[in-house]
Amino acid sequence: MPGEKLLQWGVLGALLLPYAALSFVSGEAVRESKLLVQGLGAAVALAGLAWLERRRSVAVGPTARGARTLAWVALALVAWCLASAAASAPRVLDALSTAPVLAAVALFLAGAAPEGPALARTAFPLLMVAGAASSLLATLQRFAGFLTLPLAVPEPRFLAAGLVGNPGDLGAALVFPGILLAEALASPTHPRRARLFAAVALALVLGGLGASAALGPFLALVGGALAPLLLAGRRRLVGSLLALLLLGAGLAMTEAGGRLVEKVRQLASGRADLAFTQRDIGALAAVEMVRARPLLGTGPGAFSTAFVPARIAAEERAGRRLVHLSPSGHFENAHSEPLTLAAECGVPSAVLAAAALAGLILLLIFRDRAASPHPAVPLEVLVALLAGFSLLCVSGFPTRLAVTSGPFAFVLGLAWRTVRPGRPVAGAPTRSWLLAAGALVLGTTAAARGVAVWLQADGESRLREAAAVSGAVRESLLVSAEDRLEAALALRPRQATALLALCSARRLAHDPEGARRACVASLRLEERGETDLNLGRLALESGDERTATALFVRAVWILPSLLADVPEDAGRAAIELEVREREAALTRGTPAPRLPAGYPHP
């Protein structure tokens, strides 16, 4: 049937293409290209569901005790997040930011559909292959220099990126394939040839994790692989021990093991910031956001907006400066899903999310096997995947990566179908039309978001070219850059980085008023060091040296590398000295540099 084909190809595209889709037009486009293919694939899957829903007849199946309570908890979570969005409407991002959420909902519905288990039997083996292939490529990139990506490499492990983009994202992308392979190896019902393939592929995945030295994903894989022992410990003990032996060997024989030992030493010496690769900055900022708005948070997706003020509040509370060593020290999230959710949507939302996920895992563990002794998708597999994802959330942001959020949403749907297999459906034609409308909205939103990202990247590229030339060529590039950026903002009017680039284009085109409007609009949405730097340049060019100095000090405080971009005639040495003095005074309770009067706070 056309509906079944659409559903199958849509789900497979949404789950697998993020492993391969990659764009280098900008740093942001690396992840955005994956969100684009995920969104388009999910839209096709939703269209397939709409087609199938026209004549669907869903029978009532045995429902696990507690499923109704779990449903109410999930609904309460959704309602709370919507309330947070309504309460922080001026701070939340544009409508196109909903594309990843809509894609996840579509994949959840696909997993929860009657066709979900059959889709899993096709998708899971392909996910294993994608994970093994990505791992092999990452290992070759790291140790043989094969097909390395044209991205920044601050240390050798960043070479191991596969086609995912960076070692952290690659490690997260390997957790689901690794758990599936470990489960195939541990299952006593699989034929010997299949288990041999699983062992070889799992060894490749461990090699990829070792090449990337991603510890959080490695530990999530181990925890997820061992979780099914709660369901069938004795029956799976030999296979589980074999899988654990492989995992332990992978940790011991690769750089991941050495990195783990190094981090233990750093913790023992009191250097928690180094042990957690300075993720304490995001965590401390999240705590400040929770202190300021404990119930409803800063708003869904608004962590980045609130980060700089929250970071500075955390610095003043801790009495020390919190500066990340990377070229860009701006945090889009807390690098921990529970903390990010609490900061964005309030503490109750984080509690509800944890309760819903834990409740679903417990329902699977204690499900009445007599009612359905042979579930379509083995309970051990579902428990392992959900447990592994839960552990991955503790020290990462997998819900914000297409390569991990898609498989999780699909598995979540499969798990929900397992504990609540079916129910009578009233008005299936209406449901079909709703699904079709959802597919259209999702496809349009994902495509528009992709176009906006490309327009912004092209505008920024033209802006960089214009800075290196002069004369008529420069003027032409600046005009075209401004056109591209304004077109991107027409699609995503609350994109602070696009407004910041537009400010730079107008300043170079000698339009100080237009540049200031764009920069202030960007600051109103989200403060970055680059925003303050541009405002300082504009103030200096207008003759307001006092305001310019205050803005330059604030910019360098936020991002020290910006000192090199401060104009020489602004007194660069004096600004550097003032930042050092303010940092020393911070330990005595002196506040961090403030924005000058008249400039809006995000």
Is 258 in contact with 272 (CB distance < 8 Å)?
no
> Three-state SS for 44?
helix
Distance from C-alpha of 527 to C-alpha of 518, rounded to nearest angstrom = 13
Distance from C-alpha of 130 to C-alpha of 15, rounded to nearest angstrom = 10
Distance from C-alpha of 506 to C-alpha of 173, rounded to nearest angstrom = 40
Distance from C-alpha of 332 to C-alpha of 317, rounded to nearest angstrom = 21
Nearest 5°: the CA angle 26, 30, 36 is 110
Residue with tokens 């032996």: 245
Distance of CA 176 to the CA centre of its chain: 16
Sites in the chain below the pLDDT cut of 70 = 1, 56-65, 89-93, 153-154, 230-278, 325-328, 368-375, 421-428, 602
- Burial of 281 (C-beta count, 10 Å sphere; 0-12/13-18/19+): buried
Is 382 in contact with 360 (CB distance < 8 Å)?
no
Distance from C-alpha of 109 to C-alpha of 101, rounded to nearest angstrom = 12
For residues 151, 554, 301, 409, the Cα torsion angle rounded to the nearest 10 degrees is 30
Alpha carbon of 583 to those of 530, 554, 555, 586: distances in Å?
20, 12, 14, 5
Is 351 in contact with 80 (CB distance < 8 Å)?
no
Task: Give Cβ neighbours of residue 148 (< 8 Å, ≥ 6 apart).
Answer: 141, 159
Q: How many CA atoms lie within 13 A of 438 on its CB side?
A: 23
Distance from C-alpha of 563 to C-alpha of 583, rounded to nearest angstrom = 15
Distance of CA 107 to the CA centre of its chain: 17
Record the pTM: 0.91
Nearest 5°: the CA angle 590, 593, 597 is 120
Is 221 in contact with 182 (CB distance < 8 Å)?
yes
The phi and psi torsions of 266 (rounded to 5 degrees) equal -65, -40
Q: Say which amino acid occupies 553.
A: V
Distance from C-alpha of 392 to C-alpha of 337, rounded to nearest angstrom = 9
Distance from C-alpha of 86 to C-alpha of 92, rounded to nearest angstrom = 9
| Residue spans per domain, the chain | 57-429, 511-601
pLDDT at 424: 47
Task: Give Cβ neighbours of residue 451 (< 8 Å, ≥ 6 apart).
Answer: 491
Distance from C-alpha of 212 to C-alpha of 195, rounded to nearest angstrom = 25
The phi and psi torsions of 265 (rounded to 5 degrees) equal -65, -40
pLDDT at 280: 83
